[in-house]
């Protein structure tokens, strides 16, 4: 267990000499795994060919996006929400073996909700390899996923803070920000990424409890967390919200979830204008179908899991690693004139 009596723990920064020096946090998979103590089963990142790194040098060969990663059909698989990475087949790629940093976020301090798995894990790995210290939030039942992310952040030579807790609780959201700020020593980047998605075919079958819970995680928590974070964010800070393609493209079995993702976009656009005079940027990323625990744990109708992503123009789902550079772009000084933007990473699905 990583939790202590304060429900959080600081995992001390690796000394720089522990880090491979050729590029900020550029580590081989085996070095990361050896340093992190992650079990050898992690080596089978079935979806990720080792020969096609994200953020690869300019002279790397061009990569065909259609065949880069595993294509449907996928094995049938079902797990309970919120789902664990270790139970997925094939294993998603979060850039463990491939993401190479170049100091774009050196010394920055980031909080990522849902940082234990999927898209948040890919952002956490990339931020750390770009030089940021990272705090992640997740549900206590996701501890085993969180341990691996913490190890990967540490392997990049950065401070990792793990703060488990349920974002449906306003008091916890407030404490999350306070603890992250205290333990990181400030806050520059906030990523509101945690999400609840439960597919239900008929509106009549969506319970009030589900509706409420989905809105609490996806809409209330970003509001509560951002409101608290604004006490600490300074000019140059960046807020990134994870929205979704379903705010634009209707999936009939995601009525409640899609509403929350539209909320994420309105929140982004209005807040971007409100916070511009304070020098704080606010943007959103709208992913298409991405291979994460969210989907086999009830986010997608089970009968659609074998063909997940088949309808996208590239004929496959995206992998979390394919979103990492977008989060880094919006967090970094490379996008100082970008605010109120919704960046789509959809495999070609048009969102407007
Ligand atoms: P994921 O399951 O890996 O991440 C979602 C995270 O949300 C979980 O790891 C969990 O820690 C967190 N969470 C859920 N309920 C919580 C609660 N009550 N308290 C605290 N944390 C809670 O899946 P992902 O696909 O990486 O999801 C990340 C974001 O991406 C979500 O906002 C999701 O809506 C969005 N998204 C995903 C897809 C996709 O196809 N996977 C597409 C578009 C948008
Ligand atoms: Mg998770």
Of 279, 249, 286, 238, nearest to 264 (Cα)? 286
Number of Cα atoms under 13 Å in the Cβ half of residue 96: 29
Residue 91 near ligand 1, beta carbon < 6 Å: no
Pocket probe mutation, ligand 1, options 148, 166, 194, max atoms within 8 Å of Cβ? 194
- List the residue whose alpha carbon is closest to atom 41 of ligand 1: 290
CATH no., domain 9-37+74-345: 3.40.50.720
pLDDT for residue 233: 99
Condensed to tens digits (0 to 9), the pLDDT of residues 288-302 reads: 999 999 999 999 999
Does residue 27 surpass a pLDDT of 90? no
Catalytic positions, written as ranges? 257
**How do residues 203-229 score in pLDDT, each as one tens digit?**
999 999 999 999 999 999 999 999 999
Point out the ligand nearest to the CA of residue 295: 1
Rounded Cα distance between 214 and 217, Å, is 5
Q: Is 85 in the pocket of ligand 1 (CB under 6 A)?
A: no
Q: Average model confidence (pLDDT) for the chain?
A: 88
For the chain, give the percent of residues with pLDDT over 70: 83
Confidence band of 55 (pLDDT split at 50, 70, 90): low
Q: Which pLDDT band holds residue 56 (cuts at 50, 70, 90)?
A: low
Q: Which atom of ligand 1 is nearest to the CA of 166?
A: 19
Would you state the pLDDT for residue 53? 46
- CB contact at 8 A, 293 and 80: no
Ligand 1 binding pocket includes 295 (Cβ within 6 Å): yes
- Nearest-ligand number for the alpha carbon of 112: 1
Binding site membership of 281 for ligand 1 (Cβ less than 6 Å):
no
Highest mean pLDDT among 9-23, 41-55, 88-102: 88-102
Q: Is the Cβ atom of 166 under 6 angstroms away from ligand 1?
A: yes
Say if residue 51's pLDDT is above 70: no
**Distance between CA 182 and CA 248 in Å, rounded?**
38
Across the range 138-146, mean pLDDT stands at 98
Mean pLDDT (whole number) for 46-75:
74
Atom of ligand 1 nearest to the CA of 291: 41
pLDDT at 351: 85
Report the range of poorest mean pLDDT among 56-60, 61-65, 76-80, 266-270.
56-60
**Ligand 1 pocket, 115 CB below 6 A?**
no
**H helix or E strand, kind and range, residue 257:** helix 255-275
| CA proximity to 229, closest of 238, 219, 220, 216 | 238
Instruction: For residue 278, report the distance from its CA to the centre of ligand 2, in Å.
Output: 33
Mutate to test the pocket of ligand 1, among 83, 144, 245, 287 (most ligand atoms within 8 A of CB): 287
What does pTM read for this prediction? 0.88
One DSSP character per residue, 217-236 reads IIIIHHHHHHHHHTTT--TT
What's the pLDDT score for residue 61?
87
Q: How far is the CA of 82 from the centre of ligand 2 (A)?
A: 6
State the average pLDDT over residues 62-81: 97
Angle made by CA atoms 18, 20, 24, in degrees to the nearest 5:
110
């Amino acid at each position: 267990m990583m939790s202590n009596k304060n429900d959080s723990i600081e995992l001390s920064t690796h000394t720089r000499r522990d880090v491979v020096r050729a590029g900020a946090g550029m580590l081989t998979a085996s070095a990361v795994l050896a340093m992190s103590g992650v079990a050898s089963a992690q080596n089978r990142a079935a979806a990720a060919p080792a020969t096609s790194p994200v953020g690869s040098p300019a002279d790397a060969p061009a990569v065909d996006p259609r065949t880069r990663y595993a294509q449907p059909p996928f094995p049938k698989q079902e797990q309970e929400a919120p789902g664990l990475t270790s139970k997925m087949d094939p294993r998603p790629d979060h850039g463990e073996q491939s993401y190479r940093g170049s100091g774009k976020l050196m010394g920055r301090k980031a909080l990522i909700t849902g940082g234990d798995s999927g898209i948040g894990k890919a952002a956490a790995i990339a931020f750390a390899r770009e030089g940021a210290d990272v705090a992640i939030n997740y549900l206590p039942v996701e501890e085993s996923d969180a341990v691996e992310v913490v190890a990967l952040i540490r392997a990049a030579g950065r401070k990792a803070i793990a703060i488990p807790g349920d974002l449906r609780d306003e008091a916890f959201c407030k404490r999350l920000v306070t603890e992250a700020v205290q333990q990181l020593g400030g806050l520059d980047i906030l990523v509101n990424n945690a999400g609840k998605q439960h597919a239900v075919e008929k509106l009549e079958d969506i319970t009030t409890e589900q509706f409420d819970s989905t809105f609490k995680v996806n809409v209330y928590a970003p509001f509560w967390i951002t409101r608290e974070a604004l006490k600490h964010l300074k000019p140059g800070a960046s807020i990134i919200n994870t929205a979704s393609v379903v705010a634009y493209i209707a999936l009939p079995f995601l009525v409640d979830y899609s509403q929350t993702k539209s909320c994420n976009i309105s929140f982004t656009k209005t807040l971007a204008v409100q916070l511009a005079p304070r020098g704080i940027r606010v943007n959103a990323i709208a992913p298409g179908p991405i291979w994460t625990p969210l989907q086999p744990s009830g986010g997608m109708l089970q009968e659609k899991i074998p063909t997940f992503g088949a309808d996208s123009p590239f004929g496959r789902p995206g992998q979390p690693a394919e979103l990492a550079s977008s989060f880094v772009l919006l967090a970094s000084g490379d996008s100082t004139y970008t605010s109120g933007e919704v960046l789509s990473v959809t495999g070609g699905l048009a969102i407007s």
